[in-house]
A and B are shown apart, each in its own frame.
Chain A
Amino acid sequence: GEQVEQRPPHLSVREGDSAVITCTYTDPNSYYFFWYKQEPGASLQLLMKVFSSTEINEGQGFTVLLNKKDKRLSLNLTAAHPGDSAAYFCAVHTGNYKYVFGAGTRLKVIA
């Protein structure tokens, strides 16, 4: 079945710096990919979705890149601020109603 590896598990950056989180997956037929943000003590908030037919999706202060050839999904926070401090999870929809989640990245943005 699908396997997802997320790196790094912990990331600390200074305010204004960029932060990059990457997930690699194994099933070339996976089509729907998601990024979630989880603030301390809170639930998961959907940040962005990307489909296999798209490669770049931009949100407020971040960009999601999908490299289908390398089976890699990345989340780039362009200018991190303290409010970005949270756990981030990637998720891959496997096509049989299930999602495979990465183990998460705990991001800390230092002011």
Chain B
Amino acid sequence: GGIITQTPKFLIGQEGQKLTLKCQQNFNHDTMYWYRQDSGKGLRLIYYSITENDLQKGDLSEGYDASREKKSSFSLTVTSAQKNEMAVFLCASSSRDSSYEQYFGPGTRLTVL
């Protein structure tokens, strides 16, 4: 088995601030994802990375940057936090070798003051 860790668990920022969320996985999965989930809603894809140093935009990439420095880690940056940014950000990973089962981290809950 493996695990996905996300830091921090809770993130409080000021409007206009640049904020970074981090994700680590030890599944040795090739592909990693960042999703945003608003309260009571579904998941929206922000960025994904097929392999190390690759970046692909999802449906909600505007206002975000991402970085895949190594296979096990994937970071997401909110470039200028907005009040409507308050949501839970979920990191996930998957691999063709595991039949594309996608596993999720515990999430980072973002609050913008």
Contact = CB atoms under 8 A, between A and B. Distances in A.
B84 interface: no
Interface stretch (A13-21, A65-73, A95-103): A95-103
Nearest to A104: B42
Interface in A45-68: 45-46, 49, 51
Contacts of B42: 89, 101-104
Interface of A: 32, 34, 36, 42-46, 49, 51, 89, 91, 93, 97-99, 101-104, 106
A-side interface mostly: strand
B90 A46 contact: no
A98 B102 contact: no
B-side interface mostly: loop
A91 B90 CA distance: 15
Interface residues of B, number: 21
A43 B107 contact: yes
A43 B104 contact: yes
B56 A97 contact: yes
